[in-house]
């Protein structure tokens, strides 16, 4: 069976996250989005783990289920902040586990190094290599995935606090890292440019802080599993068997794709930043060097290289982002939801709309300009002005006003044939 999976999520106990994030809302909006497997998030937090144990049923598969059978994988994100080679390091890692028993052991280990009750994504002063080693002492079935590996502030290759190689970060434990998460500001093709990453599988997840469909599942990984078990999921992550590919936003949409300085409204390509010695031309302070810059620094292959046996990936923006930009409204505006729900009623989920709905059928529900934008999104033809220094990229697209939509409604629709007309 095919699973569109988002295995990097957060609960309401993580900082800057929606207070309405719970298992029920996550399941509801995952179904609306078209995601059919989720990470539980934040399993070290004492209040959240109680809810997980109350609302999710554990069985021998290693995959937890809600009362309606929706699958969750035990997952959290851990922030490791420490000093190595006289430089402050801030690395985020996604952690997957096969059972509540193993999760309890992970939590007990971490409590020896600090608190777990103040944040769903707790911070520890543990080097990455020691972290992996100690988790493997608990269970070989624990999986550690470096999170959003290129973002400047908290990642494996981040310009502000990262490393230049996987081995430099994880040392002798790098052999137990099997997959990397692209993050919003990079896609697989950017990661193919580093030969040091060739043996690693590439995954993408949302790192959601709310359940809304422009957050949940905005990036996802597609698995094809004969049977949904933690063992089969682990095999896919470690060997690539059953990992079908990823769904990515345009990297330019990410908040750290280009270099820049938000306070001065300065954004630059890597080449332009180098011409200014990586300094802001307005305030003369250092620019925040983005993902594109770091890829250029570390890549040993030219742009356009495709590695052998590369998994396919699909580039598309969330539907709400397209609608709100075209209508020049906030993403939560009534008219945006109205158009969203018209499509949802017809096609069942957002991913059905984005990936499968025929253009002629889309035009039966929404204005032809909106239908055309959905088709362009499907094949990665929408233009996005790159994000920088914590500012999301901006979709550039022809707008449409509510009057045009109302006029479209007045046009006669093709008459739908009854069943008798086909016989």
- CA trace torsion 386, 388, 390, 395 (10° rounding): -10
Q: What is the pLDDT of residues 86-127, one digit of tens each?
A: 999 999 999 999 999 999 999 999 999 999 999 999 999 999
Q: For residue 64, give the H/E element and its range.
A: strand 64-65
What DSSP line would sit under 215-254, residue for residue? TTTSSEEEEE-SS--HHHHHHHHHH-TTEEEEEE--GGGS
Sign of CA pseudo-dihedral 223, 228, 232, 233? positive
Nearest-angstrom CA–CA distance, 206 and 218: 6
- Per-residue burial over 201-225, b = 16 or more CB atoms within 10 Å of its CB, e = otherwise: bbbbbbbbbbbbbbbbbbbbbbbeb
What does residue 156 show for φ and ψ, rounded to 5 degrees? Answer: -55, -50
Q: With bands split at pLDDT 50, 70 and 90, how would you rate the model's confidence at 374?
A: very high
Give the domains, in start order, of the chain with CATH numbers: 2-253 (3.20.20.140), 318-384+395-410 (no CATH)
- In the chain, % of residues over pLDDT 90: 94
- CA–CA distances in Å: residue 308 to residues 134, 189, 381: 33, 12, 25
Q: What is the pLDDT of residues 178-234, one digit of tens each?
A: 999 999 999 999 999 999 999 999 999 999 999 999 999 999 999 999 999 999 999
Nearest-angstrom CA–CA distance, 237 and 241: 8
- In the chain, % of residues over pLDDT 70: 96
Tokens describing residue 176: 């137990």
- Flag whether pLDDT at 16 surpasses 80: yes
Half-sphere exposure of 15 (CA within 13 A, CB side): 9
Strands (E) located in 155-264? 179-181, 201-203, 220-224, 243-248, 259-261
Nearest-angstrom CA–CA distance, 377 and 410: 27
Q: What is the pLDDT of residues 30-66, one digit of tens each?
A: 999 999 999 999 999 999 999 999 999 999 999 999 9
- Flag whether pLDDT at 415 surpasses 60: no
């Amino acid at each position: 069976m095919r699973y569109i999976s988002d295995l990097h999520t957060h609960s309401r106990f993580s900082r800057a996250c929606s207070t309405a994030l719970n298992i029920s809302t996550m399941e509801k909006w995952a179904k609306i989005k078209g995601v059919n497997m989720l990470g539980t998030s934040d399993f070290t937090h004492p209040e959240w783990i109680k809810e997980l144990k109350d609302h999710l049923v554990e069985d021998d598969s290693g995959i937890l289920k809600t009362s309606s059978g929706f699958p969750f994988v035990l997952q959290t994100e851990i922030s490791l902040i420490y000093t190595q080679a006289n430089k402050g390091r801030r690395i985020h890692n996604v952690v997957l586990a096969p059972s509540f028993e193993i999760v309890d052991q992970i939590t007990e280990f971490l409590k020896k190094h600090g608190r777990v009750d103040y944040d769903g994504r707790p911070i520890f002063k543990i080097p990455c290599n020691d972290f992996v080693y100690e988790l493997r002492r608990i269970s070989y079935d624990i999986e550690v995935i470096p999170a959003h590996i290129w973002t400047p502030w908290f990642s494996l290759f981040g310009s502000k606090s990262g490393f230049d190689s996987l081995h430099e970060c994880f040392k002798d434990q790098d052999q137990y890292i099997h997959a990397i998460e692209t993050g919003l500001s990079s896609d697989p093709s950017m990661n193919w440019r580093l030969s040091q990453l060739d043996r690693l599988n590439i995954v993408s997840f949302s790192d959601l802080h709310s359940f809304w469909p422009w957050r949940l599942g905005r990036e996802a990984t597609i698995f094809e599993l004969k049977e949904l078990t933690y063992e089969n999921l682990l095999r896919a992550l470690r060997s690539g068997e059953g990992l079908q590919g990823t769904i990515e936003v345009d990297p330019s949409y990410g908040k750290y794709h280009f270099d820049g300085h938000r306070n001065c409204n300065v954004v630059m390509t890597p080449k332009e930043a180098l011409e200014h010695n990586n300094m802001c031309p307005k305030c003369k302070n250092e620019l925040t060097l983005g993902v594109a810059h770091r890829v250029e620094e570390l890549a040993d292959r030219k742009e356009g290289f495709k590695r052998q046996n590369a998994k396919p990936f699909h580039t598309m923006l969330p539907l709400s982002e397209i609608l709100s930009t075209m209508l020049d409204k906030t993403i939560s505006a009534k008219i945006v939801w109205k158009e969203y729900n018209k499509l949802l009623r017809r096609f069942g989920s957002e991913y059905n709309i984005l990936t499968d709905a025929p253009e002629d059928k889309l035009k039966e529900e929404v204005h032809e300009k909106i239908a055309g934008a959905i088709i362009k999104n499907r094949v990665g033809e929408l233009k996005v002005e790159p994000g920088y220094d914590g500012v999301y990229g901006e979709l550039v697209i022809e707008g449409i006003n509510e009057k045009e939509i109302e006029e479209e409604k007045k046009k006669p629709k093709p008459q739908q044939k009854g069943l008798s007309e086909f016989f």
